[in-house]
Structure 1
């Protein structure tokens, strides 16, 4: 029954879920947030039904990925370094497929 309920919940999700990390995945360097780009805004995100939410943020010709861990009522936020938008989008795709984490 729990498996059926989980399947129904996933059917209601509107955003993608991150695949399990592959055995040989690349580890990203996650850092506490620092001065963000002036006009950075999320342009893509994963589903908030999981404890960890990822956002692809872009602005000013640069981009980064933000990771929010939602545990115990106090979210912990980390960000990657800044990349070009094209490099960040490639990394975002790799994150979604489990090739980076």
Structure 2
């Protein structure tokens, strides 16, 4: 089961990071895929929002840090969609960050 808080109950909150979590490499967005769309996302009530983006059989995770001076958007590398979905599940569980 995915972690949910009392917020809106629609989008999940990510779990606390686990001590032995895998670190993803975050980089500036690069338009590898011409058309992508978010297919899953975390709750917008937190300062950091994650989105699972998919297109052309590939997926990646977008990380947006909301700040008073604007937003910083970073993205992971892309994987085959099934692998990206597994990494998304690990992100929600705190096993990946």
Q: 1:5 is matched with which residue?
A: none
Higher share in strand: 2
**Runs of 4 or more off by more than 2 Å in structure 1?**
9-13
Residue segments in structure 1 that go unaligned for 5+ positions in a row: 1-8
Larger Rg: 1
Secondary structure of residue in 2 paired with 1:68? strand
Aligned residues, how many?
Answer: 93
Long gaps (5+) in structure 2: none
Q: More helix per residue: 1 or 2?
A: 1
User: What residue is the counterpart of 1:80 in the other structure?
Assistant: 76
TM-score normalised per structure 1: 0.87
TM-score by length of 2: 0.90
Q: CA separation in 2, counterparts of 1:13 and 1:69?
A: 21
Q: 2: CA distance between counterparts of 1:82 and 1:10?
A: 32
Q: Does 1:53 align with 2:49?
A: yes
